[in-house]
A and B are shown apart, each in its own frame.
Chain A
Amino acid sequence: MADKMSGTGRAGHNRPALAFHVPEPKFRPGDAVDFSDLEISEPGAQPRPDEGCAPIDTAPLANDLIRVLGDDNAAHGPWDPKLDPDTLRRMLRTMALTRAFDERMYRGQRQGKTSFYMKCTGEEATSVAAAMALAGDDMVFPSYRQQGILIARGYPLVEMINQIYSNRGDKLKGRQLPIMYSSRPHSFFTISGNLATQTPQAVGWAMASAMRGDSRIAATWVGEGSTAEGDFHAACLFATVYNAPVILNVINNQWAISSFSGFAGGERATFAARGVGYGIASLRVDGNDALAVYAATQWAADRARSNAGPTLIEHFTYRAEGHSTSDDPSQYRSAHERSEWPLGDPIMRLKNHLIHLGEWDEGRQEALDLECAEQVKAATKDAEKNGVLGHGMHHPFHTMFEDVFEELPWHLEEQAAQAIRERKIKWPQA
């Protein structure tokens, strides 16, 4: 028997053969798409428990889908945050600006102005509406698809583009991959390329805030694929153990590069449901419904601020574009998914809501889109004065050795001298 694979090594067993399961998405390239089996709940039908409720009371909401905006473009139910029209217009504008920014930067990458870019098309609500429901000095620990937060917080577009171009204006001295922003004045934590590492850090920051009797809370964003990392589980554990004032946002955009959410366990349980097991209040929201995202974030922020503890929010959304400029989604998923996505587009839905309220119209939308495009274009021009990637207008060589430590140690000083010497030989005219 030794040379034969067998379950127990015992001969003659007659138990059924076990089958190995490898998750498979429902649709592959060329497939017709049918999302009718997705359980999309009725807008307004979800109860809104008190912010101070026991975590277990949120269990039904972790498996439901909190929705406010209906197909009739009206806001429904107890989760309607009842925002005034100005706030709604500001939200719409920020989301539209984020999309315009993505469009232009994507083209910039294609034109060779930078190495890489990542869009958040279809996910604008999950960052913009969430950021608007937080206080401006609440600390955010984002992943790489939350450019909307910076835009919502008024970070200058020029600075974002300088960073993307890694030019001499880049506040991060050209060290980070494009889109990995950092801005302490905007309470925006430096982005890491190592997935999910920001989640326990956000919890630690929130713990520190609580220890010091501060009033600021923390929020973090992580992709559903990245929740598979141990860091995320450590984050949930620390958040619950210390009742940390933190919001853990899971952006379930269905895809982690080419791997669908099933590879992070999404076939078996919702991502929100994981929080319940830890004793964390957990909500699952329609991530393409800006009002639902706002309301859920506001609920979680109120909860954190009143020392009632952490909240995990799963934002159910769809990654409408490729993973990044290095990705071609037509190689692994059906092109129809985007158009068939049953939760629509967050910007369109908010726009239609405002129109429904009589506070907006198509003409104003057109003007807004144009204005956003112009604003980004102007910022791009300004940033280009500082150079684009690879065109020599970068930070001086010596900066490469700075900030490794607070003070430059002898070995880095020696290596800096070497880099500068090499530069004179390689580029004598520079």
Chain B
Amino acid sequence: MNMIEAINDALDIMLSHDPTVVIMGEDVGYFGGVFRATAHLQEKHGKNRVFDTPISECGIIGAAVGMGAYGLRPVPEIQFADYIYPGMDQLISEAARLRYRSAGEFIAPLTVRSPFGGGIFGGQTHSQSPESLFTHVAGLKTVIPSTPYDAKGLLIAAIEDNDPVIFFEPKRIYNGPFSGYYDKPVEPWKNHPDSKVPEGYFSIPLGKARTVREGDTLTILAYGTMVHVVSAVAKEKGVDAEIIDLRTLVPLDIEAIEASVEKTGRCLIVHEATRTSGFGAELSALVQERCFYHLEAPIERVTGFDTPYPHSLEWAYFPGPVRIGEAIDKILEA
């Protein structure tokens, strides 16, 4: 199963499982979404449960907040994370704070799904990674899967969660894990162990990281597409790195991070989003605050550059094997 199929499966199960789940968004109904994540769901569950919306992110999220207050569990799709900004106020000021401002009387249990990240030649309007904007907001949960297995289990958990969740789907790895080498063909998911997704209902708790690979010399913190890139680089360099896929940024599995850094004494943080005030800055501060006496080298961050995502120079922007490799060398030499 590839990641799209896993997401489609999770949505299908939740629509069957819980009559209050509804899916809405641009092109999600009849057509099944531009990435086909909602394919056949309207056919199967009807227009009352899966329906198209006007091209109005403010309307989509605003209406979803009202539906959540009614008692539904809307799963709005924002076609690309780059288009979430017109709906930002409804997310930040409304969805995120509804529980707080009503002291628990009203909740907005929405799960906003949105493909994010670059690497598909989407130019500067189809490539951004805006996750840190959301992690900065009290009351929102941010979830980012990196495998079909996780996509299904985490999406089910997100939909069941009573808090608003932003579920960012790394579109670069929808069809197969990406090693960061543009010149090598992408292996389809079917050859990967994490593409074996159990049938039927299962969930993965939010707030629990996944240890992708155990190791002793270095901790690498990553999420989404970058999990696969750092895995490839570590393997290629023969570094005994412990790779932690955060899976959820809020709530964050601080225990897993601390335990790993205390063991390895070295920490590399990798994300695709722009560097300044990116989530890596938060991770770096946390590791410094909590693991300082265990550190044997300065914490390193590998990120995208502080520019919009350039179309033709996408390769140069993407935090690929060279940038990651150099950072690993630097940490190990320190």
Given contacts A190-B102, A190-B106, contact A234 B62 (CB under 8 A): yes
Q: Which of A44-52, A170-178, A260-268 lines the interface with chain B?
A: A170-178
Assess the A208–B99 pair: CB atoms within 8 A. no
B176 located at the interface, meaning its Cβ lies under 8 Å from any Cβ of chain A in the complex: no
Hey, which chain A residues are within 8 Å of B90, CB to CB? 197, 200-201, 231
When the two chains form the complex, which single residue of B59, B63, B162 contacts A406, counting CB atoms closer than 8 Å? B162
Alpha-carbon distance between A352 and B252 when the two chains are bound, in angstroms: 64
| Most A CB within 10 A of own CB, among B54, B100, B102, B161 | B102
When the two chains form the complex, which single residue of B49, B58, B106, B254 contacts A231, counting CB atoms closer than 8 Å? B58
- Report B98 CB to chain A, min CB distance, Å: 7
A235 located at the interface, meaning its Cβ lies under 8 Å from any Cβ of chain B in the complex: yes
Q: Which of A16-24, A73-81, A180-188, A360-368 lines the interface with chain B?
A: A180-188
Assess the B138–A207 pair: CB atoms within 8 A. no
Alpha-carbon distance between A323 and B70 when the two chains are bound, in angstroms: 31
Assess the B105–A190 pair: CB atoms within 8 A. yes
When the two chains form the complex, which single residue of B22, B67, B70, B89 contacts A194, counting CB atoms closer than 8 Å? B89
Assess the A175–B56 pair: CB atoms within 8 A. no
B72 located at the interface, meaning its Cβ lies under 8 Å from any Cβ of chain A in the complex: yes
Hey, which chain A residues are within 8 Å of B138, CB to CB? 404
Hey, which chain A residues are within 8 Å of B207, CB to CB? 409
B310 located at the interface, meaning its Cβ lies under 8 Å from any Cβ of chain A in the complex: no
A427 located at the interface, meaning its Cβ lies under 8 Å from any Cβ of chain B in the complex: no
Assess the B59–A189 pair: CB atoms within 8 A. no
B124 located at the interface, meaning its Cβ lies under 8 Å from any Cβ of chain A in the complex: no
Assess the A192–B93 pair: CB atoms within 8 A. yes
Contact with B along A62-98 (1 / 0, CB 8 A): 0000000000000000000000000000000000000
Contact with A along B62-101 (1 / 0, CB 8 A): 1111110111101000000000001001100110001111
Hey, which chain B residues are within 8 Å of A406, CB to CB? 99, 107, 161-163
B185 located at the interface, meaning its Cβ lies under 8 Å from any Cβ of chain A in the complex: no
A206 located at the interface, meaning its Cβ lies under 8 Å from any Cβ of chain B in the complex: yes
Contact with B along A207-243 (1 / 0, CB 8 A): 1110110000010000000000011001101100100
Work out how many contacts link A and B, with CB atoms closer than 8 A: 142
Assess the B63–A203 pair: CB atoms within 8 A. yes
B103 located at the interface, meaning its Cβ lies under 8 Å from any Cβ of chain A in the complex: yes
Hey, which chain A residues are within 8 Å of B126, CB to CB? none
When the two chains form the complex, which single residue of A175, A194, A235 contacts B100, counting CB atoms closer than 8 Å? A175
Number of interface residues of B (CB under 8 A): 45
B251 located at the interface, meaning its Cβ lies under 8 Å from any Cβ of chain A in the complex: yes
Hey, which chain A residues are within 8 Å of B100, CB to CB? 175, 403-404
Chain B residue nearest in CB terms to A399: B103
Assess the A403–B94 pair: CB atoms within 8 A. no
Alpha-carbon distance between A404 and B64 when the two chains are bound, in angstroms: 19
Assess the A201–B103 pair: CB atoms within 8 A. no
Chain B residue nearest in CB terms to A405: B163
B139 located at the interface, meaning its Cβ lies under 8 Å from any Cβ of chain A in the complex: yes
Assess the A230–B58 pair: CB atoms within 8 A. yes
Assess the A205–B70 pair: CB atoms within 8 A. yes
When the two chains form the complex, which single residue of B53, B72, B104, B161 contacts A403, counting CB atoms closer than 8 Å? B104
When the two chains form the complex, which single residue of B54, B56, B106, B163 contacts A184, counting CB atoms closer than 8 Å? B106
A141 located at the interface, meaning its Cβ lies under 8 Å from any Cβ of chain B in the complex: yes
Assess the B69–A201 pair: CB atoms within 8 A. yes
Hey, which chain B residues are within 8 Å of A311, CB to CB? none
Hey, which chain B residues are within 8 Å of A212, CB to CB? 70, 72
B172 located at the interface, meaning its Cβ lies under 8 Å from any Cβ of chain A in the complex: no
A317 located at the interface, meaning its Cβ lies under 8 Å from any Cβ of chain B in the complex: no
Hey, which chain A residues are within 8 Å of B254, CB to CB? 410-411
Q: Which of A118-177 contact B (CB under 8 A)?
A: 139, 141, 171-173, 175-176
Assess the A208–B94 pair: CB atoms within 8 A. no
Hey, which chain A residues are within 8 Å of B98, CB to CB? 190
- Report B95 CB to chain A, min CB distance, Å: 10
8 shortest interchain CB distances as A-B pairs: A204-B66, A200-B62, A204-B63, A234-B59, A201-B66, A208-B70, A190-B102, A205-B66
Give 16 CB contacts A-B under 8 Å. A171-B103, A184-B106, A190-B105, A194-B94, A200-B66, A204-B67, A205-B69, A206-B66, A208-B67, A208-B71, A208-B72, A234-B54, A234-B58, A238-B56, A406-B162, A411-B252
Q: B interface vs A, CB < 8 Å? A: 22, 48-49, 53-54, 56, 58-59, 62-67, 69-72, 74, 86, 89-90, 93-94, 98-107, 138-139, 141, 161-163, 207, 250-252, 254
Q: Give me 11 other A-B pairs in contact (C-beta within 8 A), A182-B105, A202-B66, A409-B207 excluded.
A: A171-B103, A197-B89, A201-B66, A212-B70, A230-B58, A235-B59, A238-B54, A403-B99, A405-B141, A406-B161, A410-B254
